[in-house]
Amino acid sequence: MTATPHLTMADLVPLLFGHAAFQQLNAACELRLPELLHERPGSTREEIAKELELPERSAAVLLLGTTSLRLTVKQGDGYANAFVVEAAFDDGTWTHLRDIVEFQARIAYAPAAEYTASLRAGENLGLRHFPGRTRDLYSRLAGTPGLEELFYKGMNSWSRISNPVLIDGVDYGGVRRILDIGGGGGLNAIALVTAHPHLRVTVLDRPGALEVAEHNIREAGLTDRIDTHAADIFDDEYPPGYDCVLFAHQLVIWSAAQNRALLAKALRAVDPTGRVLIFNAFSDDDGAGPLYTALDGVYFTTLPFESSTIYPWRAYEGWLDECGYAAHRRITIGGWTPHGVVEAYPTAATPSD
């Protein structure tokens, strides 16, 4: 086992200035600095100031920030993007990373200041930043013009960055029809049927989310393979006839009792020879990490719902056992986010048998 190094005083710098580090990243994104350096690597500070229409002093402060944070590199008098930023332009993920930064800035950032109060109260007090009287974020989205679109743009990009384990890590050979519970803007459904042409998916969600999903499905030209079903995931029965029920970024929102109820409902709905997939980020079973999960915990504590939690793997496995699933297994493919899939089977014969 590798010993964790002790915290040093220098390690405190990114903690003390965590908010400032994020604002450097956010300003770079809002001002489109990475796009400029992608087009014109080697631009000088003066050229960057002119192109971004910034006073020279502002450009100097921003470039000091981005270079210290290693988002940009300085070569002589010129600046270039970090290698990973350029790689994200090359593989098409840069716009998704930028959407995620916007999600953090416009949805998560201000409510995060309610973290201590939320911990004390055991409630998601960041919700007070969004008008409405309901107790979860999703049902409040419609109360602010444009918020639904902003939320699903960010959510779709989170899913796009983290879903390779769902799209490529699961064997869909024996699957025909997937019911995507709380499928939101439909990004996972679109990715699934695009990668696996034999699949059909139904996105089940609230009517407001389905408006976004239907738009995205039409834009993708996939109306013949993806349909939608408006329902409440707790109050309404799930439609029958599916050999796979998917919970994507869903069982991190609710309490243990609610997750058990949803998994029990999925077990009643899915074909007996089918399977249930749980896809989201996980925390380690030993409660010591990873860092991504630990920091994302601030969002989950302050916003989605009073009991939102990135649970450890073993919590899901325990609920599946209590619900009467016959077997389950973990699927991971590595990567920089702690996402994975728990695949659960109603009957003992698993697809790998």
Ligand X SMILES: C[S@@+](CC[C@H](N)C(=O)[O-])C[C@H]1O[C@@H](n2cnc3c(N)ncnc32)[C@H](O)[C@@H]1O
Residues of the shown chain interacting with ligand X in the complex, contacts defined by CB under 6 A: 138, 155, 159, 182-184, 187-188, 205-206, 209, 232-234, 248-250
Q: Is 287 left (phi over 0), alpha (psi -120 to 50) or beta?
A: left
Structure tokens at 25: 């990243």
To the nearest whole angstrom, how small is the minimum distance from the Cβ of residue 88 to ligand X? Answer: 20
Structure tokens at 330: 């973990």
What is the C-alpha separation between 184 and 215, in angstroms, rounded?
Answer: 12
SS3 call for 201: strand
| Minimum CB distance to ligand X smaller for 25 or for 251 | 251
CB distance 325 to 344 below 8 Å? yes
Q: Which of 198, 195, 350 is nearest to 277 (CA)?
A: 350
CB distance 302 to 126 below 8 Å? yes
To the nearest whole angstrom, how small is the minimum distance from the Cβ of residue 114 to ligand X? Answer: 19
To the nearest whole angstrom, how small is the minimum distance from the Cβ of residue 268 to ligand X? Answer: 17
| Minimum CB distance to ligand X smaller for 139 or for 350 | 139
Residue 277: HSE in the Cβ half-sphere, 13 Å Cα cutoff: 32
Which residue in the block uniquely carries the two structure tokens 């920089």? 336
Q: Which of 108, 83, 80, 90 is nearest to 296 (CA)?
A: 108
Helix (H) or strand (E) holding 273: none
| Minimum CB distance to ligand X smaller for 27 or for 210 | 210
| Minimum CB distance to ligand X smaller for 155 or for 217 | 155
What is the C-alpha separation between 41 and 44, in angstroms, rounded?
Answer: 9
Position 209, amino acid: A
To the nearest whole angstrom, how small is the minimum distance from the Cβ of residue 305 to ligand X? Answer: 8
| Minimum CB distance to ligand X smaller for 62 or for 192 | 192
| Minimum CB distance to ligand X smaller for 54 or for 161 | 161
To the nearest whole angstrom, how small is the minimum distance from the Cβ of residue 325 to ligand X? Answer: 21
To the nearest whole angstrom, how small is the minimum distance from the Cβ of residue 308 to ligand X? Answer: 9
To the nearest whole angstrom, how small is the minimum distance from the Cβ of residue 322 to ligand X? Answer: 22
| Minimum CB distance to ligand X smaller for 209 or for 244 | 209
